[in-house]
Amino acid sequence: MTDELIEYRAMFEAIERRVTGEVDTGSRWRVRVTVAISVAVVALFFSHTGGATGWSVYMYTDAARAEAVGPLSMLFVHASAVLCVAGSIAALVAHRFPIVCAAAAGCAMTAILGVLAIWSRQTLPAGSGLSGPGLGTVIGALAALVLAGHWIGALVRPPMRSGAPV
């Protein structure tokens, strides 16, 4: 009997390596993450500060220059687009542990950058005539925080068993 199983040992080990590297999530969880990614994308098209949208800040257009957008806001918008949106999409599609770890770290860093971007727009010199943080900045920071929480939650919870509720 054991001789028959030895023949399948390599196949069993390959399956074990493939399964242990995956982060298994339920369908409701995937829907929540997809909604949070969509909110992060929509936040890029809302006002980031004054007349400059997040996309204007990303491309550093004349509207962003007119609002004197600083490096924290630019870092936040770039991190939001690359780490939160693209990184979360990659993690959502791949379900691989290293990619989910990178998405969790990237979203957490983006949330911190978002709070710093909000703070930097609230501490402008008096009489400068520049606008404070816009709705897109706040929504983007909250979306990054929600995504970070979801990815960290996916990493720390035990793997789902077959037949377990989703």
Which residue's entry shows tokens 């004197």?
Answer: 68
Does residue 14 fall inside a structural domain?
no
Domain assignment of residue 52, yes or no: yes
pLDDT digits (tens, 9 = 90+) for 107-151: 999 999 999 999 998 887 777 888 889 999 999 999 999 999 999
pLDDT at 19: 61
Q: Which of 19-23, 35-39, 42-46 has the lowest mean pLDDT?
A: 19-23
The amino acid at 61? T
Give the structural domain span for 111.
27-156
Q: Hey, what are 108's tokens?
A: 């957490």
pTM: 0.82
Is 15 among the domain residues? no
The residue written with tokens 């690359």 in the block is 82
Give the mean pLDDT of 19-27.
74
Structure tokens at 161: 């068993």
Of residues 42, 70, 67, 41, the one with CA closest to residue 52: 67
160 pLDDT tier (thresholds 50, 70, 90)? low
Distance CA 76, CA 139 (A): 12
Asked if residue 150 belongs to a domain, the reply is yes
In a domain, 10, yes or no: no
Residue 71 or 1, more confident = 71
Check: CB of residue 44 under 8 Å from CB of residue 140: yes
Give residue 163's pLDDT.
45
Q: Is residue 16 part of a domain?
A: no
Split into its structural domains, the chain has a count of 1
pLDDT for residue 166: 44
pLDDT at residue 95 is higher than 90: no
In a domain, 12, yes or no: no
| DSSP annotation of 53 | E
Q: How many CB atoms lie within 10 A of CB 73?
A: 27
Report whether pLDDT(76) > 80.
yes
**Across 35-46, average pLDDT:** 96
Closest residue by Cα to residue 149 from 22, 36, 21, 25:
36
- CA-CA distance, 6 to 40, in Å (whole number)? 50
Q: What is the pLDDT of residue 158?
A: 64
CA distance 106 to 75: 12
